[in-house]
Chain A
């Protein structure tokens, strides 16, 4: 009887012992992240994205193969690593998804409503935008990230994104910096990268778009920003808007130089 009681006490103690005392949370979560990245199914989606890139669509019944992603019409090799950048034909800075949308409208003759109706997919059906993005990004593997920084509008976008990153608003007074401004901080057990510093953001911009294991979906940077603002309790950012592209420009320029190692796999 006594023994049983003692056993019970020991068990209760073990259960109450904080996890930190037993394992190094940072090291172990990093190991999990590394292991899921090694066994990433992201490539499967690249195949589907390539098919969509070559598929004839829209009123003009043409594929996106003539789309100029900045390296000339149809060039996908290393294109992602050089985005965002200024495009003279649209007279604005564009990230990959904004540019793809532009090509759907101009090349394929689709309406904005049709092309942007379903930019974010679900686990049963990824969106066209997500599959295309993961294919195009995969064509930049190993290429150092080098977004445009010479054109005045590219510089303007960086500066605007930088200001927006620190701008607090929304129902809970949050900015991006509220969660991504200080080193070694966590939400629940997830460590938060410091996105305003090169060392914090380099690996991030070099692995999006990514496969997310928590919902078995491929997701893009536009989605990442959109879902952050959702959780920041802001209204909804408009897909491809100047604000979202400016933030992507800010993050990518801050993290430039890292060889592209995506599409990644994350939580």
Chain B
């Protein structure tokens, strides 16, 4: 399965850079049943990584308890316009996706 779209916005706040990222993912808990009564298997993002100018600054591990179509906000120290931000994720089936952008 290919990964759905991702969106990221990095904006300069007061003293920090606000990074907001949207991810398209089902985040299945493994407890839901489909129309035919079959349990829908666990399927969720496990790892989230934020890089600033190529250097990892946030490393996250998450569970199936994160809501469907996850939204995360992070804050980076200082930062300036044009700084490169990359956010990526990896799910429990090995699917991965990433998005890049510059601080605006």
A41 adjacent to chain B (CB < 8 Å): yes
Tell me, yes or no, whether A52 is within 8 Å of chain B by CB.
no
Instruction: Please tell me if the beta carbons of A44 and B24 are within 8 angstroms of each other in the complex.
Output: yes
Which chain B residues in 1-41 approach chain A with CB under 8 Å?
4-7, 20, 22-24, 26
Among B45-53, B67-75, B83-91, which stretch is in contact with chain A?
B67-75
A43 vs B73: C-alpha distance in the bound complex, in angstroms? 15
The range of chain B's interface size is: 10 to 19
Q: Hey, which chain B residues are within 8 Å of A124, CB to CB?
A: 26
Contact among B5, B6, B23 with A48 in the assembled complex (CB-CB below 8 Å): B5
Tell me, in angstroms, the Cα distance from A30 to B22 when the chains sit together: 23
Is the C-beta of A57 less than 8 angstroms from some C-beta in chain B? Answer: no
A44–B4 touching, CB < 8 Å: yes
Which residues of A sit under 8 angstroms from B20, Cβ to Cβ?
A: 39
The answer to whether A9 has its CB under 8 Å from any CB of chain B is no
In the complex, which residues of chain A have a beta carbon less than 8 angstroms from the beta carbon of B26? 124
| Cβ–Cβ contact B67 & A213, under 8 A | yes
B4 to chain A, nearest CB (A): 7
Given contacts A41-B23, A47-B7, 13 further A-B contacts (CB under 8 A): A39-B20, A39-B71, A39-B73, A41-B24, A41-B69, A41-B70, A44-B4, A44-B6, A44-B24, A47-B5, A123-B68, A216-B67, A216-B69
Question: Can you list 23 residue pairs at the A/B interface with Cβ under 8 Å?
Answer: A39-B20, A39-B73, A40-B71, A41-B22, A41-B23, A41-B69, A41-B71, A43-B22, A44-B4, A44-B5, A44-B6, A44-B22, A44-B23, A44-B69, A47-B5, A47-B7, A48-B5, A123-B68, A124-B26, A213-B67, A216-B67, A216-B68, A216-B69
